[in-house]
Copies of this chain bind each other. A is one copy, B any other.
Amino acid sequence: MKATIYDVAKEAGVSIATVSHVINGKGKISKERREEIRRIMVRMGYKPSMIASALTGKKTYALGLLVPDISNPFFAEIARAVEDEGQRHGYSVFICSTDNKDEKVEHYAALLQQKNVDGVIIGTGLKELSALDPLLHGGIPTAFLAREIPSAQVPSVVVDDHAGGAAAAAHLIALGHRKFAVLAEEESVSSSRERVRGFRQTLAAAGIVLDPALVRSSGMKESMNQALELLQGDDRPTAIFCCNDMLAIGALRAAKQLGLRIPRDCSIVGFDDTVLASVTDPPLTTIAQPIEQMGQTVVRLLVRLIEQPEERPERIVLTPALSIRQSAASRPPE
């Protein structure tokens, strides 16, 4: 069987308290004894059980990461950044895909609380904040990533989505476009709402009105159909702003199906700049989120919150950047 603290204590002829002290580098132990016990631990292949120490010492060194879908490249890239930074601080991470469904959020929230994780990162949308009750009431440190709930007093790292939408609009306007459509995510996703708002405002500032009928909300699955409708209407838009790269790919597919050439017949701008953006046909012009930095930053925020719960929650805003490839070009001549 696996060695326990009792086994090494017996082997070393000391009490388990002493062994515990050398494990944790606490108490005053003579140098020789400490070394001796260390040697015995490695010889016996002893590793303290984290679950036993969690039951006493409090921490489990586990974090939960809630995202809509880990198989979505954007969140997969976020997850990697979170994993790496977590690792750096000694934490492992549980993946939790919610499909943006409150029931799943609630289920995972309860589960993570039962598992006594030290903290959780919320990178998923939710309709009712109450889905997070098990966490918030359970007193589990929580940080928001790329989403936020204005009312909640929790730290968050967000990207300036409004600025991102504005950047997309400015770029398209500069290319001469005047007639736009938008492919947005579901209404409940605050980041998507902000992107549209930034896009619309920048258009307005240029004296262009965004026709509400040409702003469509949809999941990944239906984005192609929505795009087909937009591209088939008479008075077709010359540019489509999509609130993430997957939606943009739906638009690209719709265009291809209709025999339209991108960007000649219609410009398309995405958002996220995941690996997908660089492999599409044509490569996507998109608003890049600083994915690695986002993951690193939330973890740091969360770890600080875990270690110093008294500090007031921070809100960190990162800036997206226009990444120009080939899916957006000058407006076609009339």
State whether the Cβ of A73 lies closer than 8 Å to any Cβ in chain B. yes
For the complex, is A215 an interface residue (Cβ under 8 Å from B)? Answer: no
A54 and B73 CA atoms in complex are apart in Å by 34
Q: B110 and A47: CB pair below 8 A? A: yes
CA distance in complex: A69, B47 (Å): 26
A115 and B51 contacting across the interface, CB-CB below 8 Å = yes
Expressed in whole angstroms, the Cα–Cα distance for A262 and B48 within the complex equals: 56
User: How close is A194's CB to chain B, nearest CB, in angstroms?
Assistant: 25
Nearest opposing residue in chain B for A75, CB measure: B76
- With A71-B73, A94-B95 given, name 4 new contacts (CB 8 A): A50-B116, A71-B79, A73-B275, A92-B94
On whether the beta carbons of A52 and B50 are closer than 8 Å, the reply is no
Alpha-carbon distance between A170 and B60 when the two chains are bound, in angstroms: 52
Number of interface residues of A (CB under 8 A): 49
Q: Out of B50, B71, B94, B252, which one reaches A76, CB within 8 Å?
A: B71
Q: Pick the interface stretch among A10-18, A121-129, A156-164, A276-284.
A: A276-284
Choose from B61, B69, B83 the contact partner of A95 (Cβ within 8 Å): B83
Q: Which residue of the partner chain, among B2, B83, B134, B281, contacts A97 with CB atoms under 8 Å?
A: B83
> Which A residues form the contact surface with B (CB < 8 A)?
2, 45, 47-52, 54-55, 60-62, 69-73, 76-77, 79-80, 83-84, 92-97, 110-111, 113-116, 134, 137-139, 249, 252, 275-276, 279-283
A72 to B73, CA, bound (A): 8
Task: Determine if B115 and A92 form an interchain contact, defined as CB atoms under 8 angstroms apart.
Answer: yes
A96-B26 Cα distance, complex, nearest whole Å: 30
Indicate if the CB atoms of A249 and B279 lie closer than 8 Å: yes
